[in-house]
Amino acid sequence: MLSALILICSLAATPDLAACTEDNATVVLRDPEAFASPVTCLMHGQAYLAGTAIGRDLRTSEAVKVVCRPNRDAAGRNRQRTDG
């Protein structure tokens, strides 16, 4: 399962969106849902942001990056099953 991490970075500080990370983002949000598909994860991450006040008040000097990565909880449960 995948979780969506939504990063909002200042284009003044990080003009290259590829360089936007958790460490330099001005806002970091995590979608509480888990997704099986990367496409679903990206779409829901964008929708989750759009449903927040932060998403509705984005400035033209800010950029959004959605990162989908393995859900830590699901990975931990899978590891426990195989190890135990």
pLDDT digit string, tens, across residues 7-38: 999 999 999 999 999 999 999 999 999 999 99
Taking CA atoms, 36 is separated from 41, 69, 79, in Å, by 8, 11, 18
Residue among 14, 74, 11, 1 nearest 40 (CA): 1
d(CA 81, CA 11) in angstroms, rounded, equals: 43
Q: Would you kindly state where each structural domain of the chain is located, as residue ranges? A: 2-83
Under DSSP, the state recorded for 54 is: H
**Token pair in block for residue 53:** 């006040």
Q: Which amino acid is at 60?
A: T
pTM comes to 0.81
Instruction: Provide the mean pLDDT of the chain.
Output: 88
pLDDT score recorded for residue 53? 96
